[in-house]
Structure 1
Amino acid sequence: MVGLLKRSAKMDKTQSASAKSVSPVQSKRIVRLQLDSEPSAKSGPKSKSSRERPPINKRYEKNSRIHNSAFPLKKQRGFVLGGAKLLNGTEDPLEAGLENPDLGPFLLKQTRDLISSGDNPRKALELALRAIKSFEKCANGKPNLELVMSLHVLAAIHCSLGQYNEAIPVLERSIEIPVIEEGQNHALAKFAGCMQLGDTYAMLGQFENSILCYSAGLEIQRQVLGEMDLRFGETCRYVAEAYVQALQFDEAEKLCQMALDIHRENGSPGSLEEAADRRLMGLICDSKGDHESALEHYVLASMAMSANGQETDVASIDCSVGDAYLSLARYDEAVFAYQKALTVFKSTKGENHPAVASVYVRLADLSNKIGKLRESKSYCENALRIYGKPVPGIPSEEIASGLIDVSAIYESMNDLEQALKLLQKALKTFSDAPGQQSTIAGIEAQMGVMYYMMGNYAASYNSFKNAISKLRASGEKKSAFFGIALNQMGLTCVQRCAINEAAELFEESRSILEKEYGPYHPDTLGVYSNLAGTYDAMGRLDDAIEILEQVVGMREEKLGTANPDVDDEKRRLAELLKEAGRVRNRKFRSLENLLDTNPQPIIKDGIRVL
């Protein structure tokens, strides 16, 4: 699940700048899980220790969260294809020799070779399907780990073709086959399937399902390896990153602390692995508003990285340090940290690398915050120059994320037209790429906000409608961000005089935000006020009074009776109560005056929704 994030909760932006945002996408994590072809009683479930991953604090790109399970196969012997025959007496090539125990491993090896070369994924898909059929025939109803391997490979091929929904039942089946009681290789196979399925759900933006799968895999590993194994600790960090992606920072903090405790117990302080955990913990603390603690973790991580000669990683951490200083309004120290990172990135990556642009965006954000608008625009232009002509090999998603970040700065400068143009470019970059639906929805929601602010309510409505349909499809219909988007779309409906639709949207938003935030949260109270105004406009005076009485009571409890917000709500309630005494002569006031038209801006994945 993807929720909402304030400005302070930001990922590292060394690769794709986010001066004001969080990326919805998670960084590439490849898990190479090995299953010995000849089971060993001493072998155990292996963690993802050899997976390829970028700096832990890098933007998380969910479009690449797929584990590639690599299983060493036995040396293949030659064999003769046996023969299934068609009715006309000719051999069916698709069914030939499926009972031969050597055929499945041979086909699986061919499949893996095709995947490695990147050639003809359709042919690889065909070979994988034949391998599965062969393993099924040879299994005789018994759990077959080679069949599990082939299912993992088939799912990976589906994902490489963008067929994520097709991969899910394949992986679900692969999880059902292994029997943990049969040995550690079975546990490893089930663990690998859980993690790969979690990645696939993450690709679809279904983060709740993703975390359920990761948690199941983590529990399997805990049972087999124990709670102090370094491999279990690495998986703790991996799952913690998933919780960060879902903005569930309390759960992320627990798992990340477990990983740090494991390093301490195993006597590995100052290692690169511990530095990665420190970096993630710094991000979590930063996201929760504990910037001082975040700085402590960043400094420890930086020292470890520096001691191991990881210059670029140190520069990435410097960016995070600058972010923490910026959140603490320690602007001079933030500038110093950013400039350090900028110097390193220019020398190691080149002056036209997006990592350099990401620092420019940070500096633009800082300059904007302290009122140096000319400097801020200059930094934005430098960043856009790099994003306009990126160096080869840079993912298009990274460029789009940078455009979103710069758009947010122009919006804060009230240059809505330029901000909207940049969002449109970002949207075009993402197109309708599989696994990016949540990101695209976020961009469309922010465009809806822009159009609303510009008075183009028809375009605003269409943008929100597209965003909400994508969020529903991607499984985010229970997230706080979804509730905020519904509220904003409701306000747009009010401007278009679609009062009944507005009421439905406010009601759905209320039910979501009550669960996600609770009734006392400012965003929930804002929806209450909007719903009360809508009920009043619909003639449902009693319902409007009931809601406003609730809002006034909660605001008095939290803010005190003398607060201006409380006075405003009390005035509105008094008007409704007065009207209730003369219903027949009721005068309908302008609905716009009844609504809470100044909700606080919320940032989600770089998308600010009013």
Structure 2
Amino acid sequence: MGEYSKALSSYERSLEILKIALPLNHFDLATSYNNIGMVYSHMGEYSKALSSLERSLETSKIALPPNHPDLATSYNNIGMVYYNMGEYSKALSSLERSLEIQKIALPPNHPDLAQSYNNIASVYDNMGEYSNALSSYERSLEIRKIALPPNHPDLATSYNNIGGVYDNMGEHSKALSSYERSLEIRKIALPPNHPDLATSYNNIGMVYYHMGEYSKALSSLERSLEILKLVLPPNHPDCAQSHNNIGMVYSHMGEYSKALSSYERSFEIRKIALPPNHPDCAQSYNNMAIVYSHMGEYSKALSSYERSLEILKIALPPNHPSLAASYNNIASVYDDMGEYSKALSSYERSLETSKIALPPNHPDLATSYNNIGGVYDNMGEYSKALSSLERSLEIRKIALPPNHPDLATSYNNIGMVYYHMGEYSKALSSLERSLEIRKIVLPPNHPDLATSYYNIAMVYDNMGEYSKALSSYERSLGIIKIVLPPNHPSLATSYNNIAMVYSHMGEYSKALSSYERSLEIRKIALPPNHPDLATSYNNIGMVYYHMGEYSKALSFYERSLEILRKSVSSTDPHLAVVKRNIENLRNRF
């Protein structure tokens, strides 16, 4: 039920009685320490959990033979706490010790062996060692197929976990197949509103989310939440996670008010159900910050990210991967604000943490190098940008399948650096490689395909190949219209860039029409002082300038400058561009 304080109180009262009634090293005391440790683990208080679980293990070692299955359970539980702490080598060591004991004490196809392989696999999965994770999960599944009836819930768990690895590998169709097999078994084996069915719908929803099929994602996630509301108390942590995941989908759909509403509901539950410094509370602050960042409310975003980081510093070891993710997210806000030195500093702190916490070719390291490369690109330090992005690509080639979406991201970003360097043939080559991968691994209307067409169009535009540019921009716009709400900011960006091509072609009336459509959307979708609104006003001003309507041009430039002064730092390059446009215009009067 998630009522951890009540559980803890009962277990501790039980322990007090047992200490009086039993010898010092009686096995029942070990059981009590174990139970207390597991509650602390669920509460996210991992140091307290470890202390109790290690006390349980010490007692068990005295009370039991050296290869007793209950010792294996102790090592397993300690291993899972280390797993939650992000200390993966320690987790593996404990879990493998558990497996060794079980191999001696139990028959070769005992279900507990399957659980051990499952837990070891989960560590490998978080380490980014997906082939090892799959191998262990499949070994677990093999044992369960032998030991259990064909529709046993544990078989469903195996298929579910295999689906999770395929999802992490970017093999979404395989992930969906495994998750759906898991759901089929659960529908047969369990009551219609069992929480495990909710888990299945949630995981299927998250695959659709990763595939960019947001309506299907929402449908599955809302089905999951309906079940949880029926079977769990209203403030159970699993309900919070469900609201959180629905918020993530709305965030990607650009429906920021709905996203915030879902995230805030999730956070309300977590404040009631969990200790104040539980990692899930940090997740809530983090996700609300993402929405604020998309809305251009950078001060709110930074504040929420920093609150998330404060909690994680209390709750987790100093080099936990989640801390690296926090530094990364703070850096992304500074990057959006044009404060590149601060962004670089936070990204590098993230990278340092990841290097300590993770294996040398973990995908998260590739993400760090990718993001550092992005800052250097924004700073115009293109050789440094290329170096970081190519390091990211090297890691991804080692760690991921050959057509993983993250490889497409790497080729895309390298292509954009070449674009900024004016090396258009190299840019096209990388961007087209990215598009090829995305066509293979993503659904035909995935937003990332729209991004690829959009970026290729920008290159053609700068090469003066305007018909090709228009064709690619329109292909991008066609996808975005299908997958996103009618007033999503990405639609505004598409209309903006189509307008730019018309402007370069000297077709100013068409340019003006598209720029105005872009501005209309941004007024609906974004806060009144969002920098993208400034971009729209500036671009409309430029068209009026080219049309010789200088008073209108000046009016739009000044509106752009007014917004930028409120929304970006004084060193932001966009501010300098608008000031220069106003100065050039005034020099004509």
456, 463, 480: which is aligned to 2:304? 463
Alignment match, 2:244: 404
331, 340, 360: which is aligned to 2:184? 340
User: Which protein, 1 or 2, shows the higher relative CO under an 8 Å CA cutoff with sep ≥ 6?
Assistant: 1
Alignment match, 1:524: 368
Name the amino acid aligned to 1:238: N
Alpha-carbon distance between aligned partners in 1 of 2:232 and 2:392, rounded to the nearest angstrom:
54
Does residue 68 (structure 1) correspond to residue 11 (structure 2)? The answer is: yes
SS of residue paired to 1:478: coil
Distance 1:488 1:321, change over 3 A: closer
Distance 1:227 1:435, change over 3 A: farther
Higher share in helix: 2
Query: TM-score, normalised to structure 1's length?
Result: 0.53
Please list the CA deviations of residues 117-153 of structure 1 after superposition, one character each: whole Å capped at 9, or x if unmatched. xxxxxxxxxxxxxxxxxxxxxxxxxxxx649x9xxxx
Name the amino acid aligned to 2:325: I
How do 1:197-276 residues align onto structure 2 when only pairs under 5 Å count? 202=41, 205-207=44-46, 210-211=49-50, 214=53, 218=57, 221-222=60-61, 225=64, 227-276=66-115
Is contact 1:341–1:359 with CA below 8 Å preserved after alignment?
no
Alignment match, 1:295: 138
Please list the CA deviations of residues 14-58 of structure 1 after superposition, one character each: whole Å capped at 9, or x if unmatched. x9xxxxxxxxxxx99xxxxxxxxxxxxxxxxxxxxxxxxxxxxxx
Alpha-carbon distance between aligned partners in 2 of 1:221 and 1:486, rounded to the nearest angstrom:
41
549, 567, 573: which is aligned to 1:590? 573
265, 268, 282: which is aligned to 1:441? 282
State the superposition RMSD in angstroms. Answer: 5.0
Is contact 2:137–2:158 with CA below 8 Å preserved after alignment?
no
Is contact 1:279–1:301 with CA below 8 Å preserved after alignment?
no
Alignment match, 1:330: 174
Is contact 1:67–1:199 with CA below 8 Å preserved after alignment?
no
Query: TM-score, normalised to structure 2's length?
Result: 0.54
Alpha-carbon distance between aligned partners in 2 of 1:279 and 1:556, rounded to the nearest angstrom:
30
Alignment match, 1:172: none
Does residue 350 (structure 1) correspond to residue 192 (structure 2)? The answer is: yes
Alignment match, 2:267: 427
Distance 1:305 1:466, change over 3 A: same
Alpha-carbon distance between aligned partners in 2 of 1:547 and 1:337, rounded to the nearest angstrom:
46
Query: Identity percentage over the alignment?
Result: 12
Deviation of the 1:427 alpha carbon: 0.8
Is contact 1:549–1:573 with CA below 8 Å preserved after alignment?
no
Query: For structure 1, which runs of at least 5 residues remain unmatched after alignment?
Result: 1-14, 16-26, 29-60, 73-107, 113-144, 150-183, 538-543, 575-586, 594-610
Deviation of the 1:488 alpha carbon: 1.9
How do 1:99-118 residues align onto structure 2 when only pairs under 5 Å count? none
Alpha-carbon distance between aligned partners in 2 of 1:226 and 1:268, rounded to the nearest angstrom:
17
Distance 1:395 1:63, change over 3 A: farther
How do 1:419-568 residues align onto structure 2 when only pairs under 5 Å count? 419-431=259-271, 433-435=273-275, 437-496=278-337, 505-506=346-347, 508-517=349-358, 521-526=365-370, 528-529=372-373, 551=388
Is contact 1:507–1:531 with CA below 8 Å preserved after alignment?
no
Query: For structure 2, which runs of at least 5 residues remain unmatched after alignment?
Result: 398-409, 423-569, 577-589
Alpha-carbon distance between aligned partners in 2 of 1:519 and 1:270, rounded to the nearest angstrom:
34
Alignment match, 1:320: 161
Name the amino acid aligned to 2:112: E
Name the amino acid aligned to 1:439: D
Name the amino acid aligned to 2:312: L
Alpha-carbon distance between aligned partners in 2 of 1:510 and 1:282, rounded to the nearest angstrom:
25
Is contact 2:241–2:266 with CA below 8 Å preserved after alignment?
yes
Alpha-carbon distance between aligned partners in 2 of 1:370 and 1:491, rounded to the nearest angstrom:
23
Please list the CA deviations of residues 200-253 of structure 1 after superposition, one character each: whole Å capped at 9, or x if unmatched. 764664536754764575466457746422221121221122233234444434
Please list the CA deviations of residues 168-213 of structure 1 after superposition, one character each: whole Å capped at 9, or x if unmatched. xxxxxxxxxxxxxxxx835979967975785576466453675476
Deviation of the 1:439 alpha carbon: 0.5
Alpha-carbon distance between aligned partners in 2 of 1:499 and 1:324, rounded to the nearest angstrom:
35
